[in-house]
Each structure stands twice: as C-alpha cells, then as structure tokens.
Amino acid sequence: MSVQQRPKYAPVSNHRVFLTHRVAEDNVGTGGAGSGQRLLEDLHTKRTPRHMRGLEVLAGQSRLHVLEASFTVASGVRKDSDLVLAIRWHRSLMPSQTSLLGAAGEYFVMSEMLCRGFIAALAHAGVPHADIVVTNMEGSKLCSLQVKTRRDIGSAGVWHMKEKHEDMRVETLFYCFVDFGKTPESTPTVHVVPSAVVAEVLAVSHRKWQAAPGRNSQPHKDSVMRRMLPDYTRTFGALDNPYPKGWLDPYRNAWHKLGLEPAKVEVEAE
C-alpha cells in the first residue's frame, strides 16, 4: 500500500486510528522503514492493544507515550478525550514561539560573527554550555557563546537563567544577551558578557533575593531558576545596588571581549 493512501476509518475510532496512522507514516523512511510500513498495513486490519503498544515503541521520541492511556480498542462510542489528546500531541510537535525566538537569537549572533570576519558555527544539539563556536580566521583562537534571547515585553526585562550558570566560569565562554525589542521591526541589541561576570551577578543577586522577606514576610522558597536583569534595583534597593540601571551598557556590542583579534573583511569592489 502506498504511504500516501489513507485507510477507511471506522466511525468509532477515527481520531485514534488517524493519529496512529500519521505516526506510522512519519516513521517510514526514518530508520524504521520496515516496521513503519508493516504497521501501516496492520492498521487496516488489526486494531489491538498489542499493535497500539508496538506503535508507541516505534514512535520513540515522538512523544506518543503521553497518549498511552488512550490506546485501547474502541468497541463502543468514541471518547471525546481521544480528539483532545490527538490535538495536544500534534501541537507538541509544532515549534513553540520560545524555541523560534531562541533560534532567531542564535542565528543573529552567528551572523554578527560572520560579518566581522570570524568563523562561526552552531554547536551540535546536546553540546553542553555552548550554542555557537567561534574561531579567528587562522584558527589560533576560539571561544564558545551561549545565547539568551528575549523580547522587550513586560516590565522585568529578564533573561531566564538557572542555578548551574553560577558555576560556569570559563575564560573562553561568553554569554550573548539578545533583546529583539517590542516588535519585529525593532533594532536588536546584544550584550556580550564573560561567563565569570554572569556567574557572579547571578550568585550575588540570588543570595540577596533569598535573604529578603517574601510575601507576608515569609522566606523565599529556593529555586534552580535565576534572573539576569538590566536593573537589579528591585532586588537590592536604590541605595546599595551594585547592578543599577545601565550596568550592562559597557557590554553592549562588546565583541572585543571575546579576545579574537579583528579579522580583515574583504569588501568586494563594485
């Protein structure tokens, strides 16, 4: 049977069989071609719990496991929950606005590096502590960049970080804090900050936040989350604030802090 053909679904289990059929299609030609093709054929004649469970194994990382509870043979009236779960599953495969924004920030920083005559490439997925790897033209100097991206929405102006960033103090690791502004037409800004500075700011500000009383004078509950802010006045107060508004200004477009000598960019004559 051609993969493009659709089975004739039984009214009682349209959504369940459609979902399983789509996942089986996705697995044909992606490392499990034989199993995917067999499953497509089985879906036309067999609708047993065994085949449904087999589909979950075949799907692997496709998040089908979240639907395990609904993988039963429908012998009566279709459950509305099947449709809801199917919609949620399909939505889970779509890129979120957060992931798109993060990708935009990484490519924006990489373009800045390339325009300055450096060799830059996105790190492989799963590489710890680095989104972009940059070297000079000769390859004699290199550094790693972590990109944190946000839009200028809300009053906090925060880049979200985690507790692990307090311990990342590597001489060749830098953070690029990208702000895309309020609209897509806004001019993006980038602050290039050494990892040791970021680690210190996060640690000091978190200790101050934890020491201050929370709502109803109750102590703050500790968390692995950290906040990188352009102004820590709300955390430290106005009088004794080591990171007031503007403290990030020296790091704006501070590409020289990467320690890569300027490369001569050849300009093509018109």
pLDDT at 125: 80
* pLDDT for 40: 46
Distance CA 195, CA 146 (A): 9
- Highest mean pLDDT, choosing among 13-22, 50-59, 177-186, 241-250: 241-250
Measured CA to CA, the distance from residue 161 to residue 151 in angstroms comes to: 15
- The CATH number given to whatever domain includes residue 146 is 3.40.1350.10
Looking at residue 198, its pLDDT comes to: 98
pLDDT tier at 81, thresholds 50, 70, 90: low
Q: Around Cβ 105, how many Cβ atoms within 10 Å? A: 22
Domain that holds residue 107: 97-258
Q: Do 30 and 134 reside in the same domain of the chain?
A: no
The rounded distance, in Å, linking the Cα atoms of 111 and 121 is 10
Against a cut of 0.85, is the pTM above it?
no
- Is the predicted pLDDT of residue 22 greater than 50, yes or no? no
What's the average model confidence in pLDDT over 89-98? 62
Average pLDDT taken over every residue of the chain: 74
Residue 93: pLDDT band with limits 50, 70, 90 = low
264 within domain boundaries: no
Judged by average pLDDT, the poorest of 86-100, 176-190, 230-244 is: 86-100
Domains in the chain, number: 2
Same domain as 228, residue 102: yes
Task: For residues 106 and 85, state if they share a domain.
Answer: no
Judged against a pLDDT cut of 60, whether residue 106 lies above it is answered with yes
Give the pLDDT band of residue 88 (cuts 50, 70, 90). Answer: low
Instruction: Please give the helix or strand (H or E) that residue 16 lies within, else none.
Output: helix 14-27
* Domain boundary residue, one of 48, 69, 93: 93
pLDDT for the residue numbered 153: 77
Asked if 15 and 111 sit in the same domain, the reply is: no
Residue 269 belongs to some domain of the structure: no
Contact present, 243 and 193 (Cβ < 8 Å): no
* Angle at which helices 49-59 and 14-27 cross, to 10°: 40
Asked whether the predicted pLDDT for residue 257 surpasses 80, the reply is yes
Residue 4 lies in a domain: no
Residues 221 and 116 in one domain: yes
Give CA separation, 187 vs 65, 78, 178, 195, in Å.
42, 52, 11, 25
> What's residue 157's pLDDT?
79
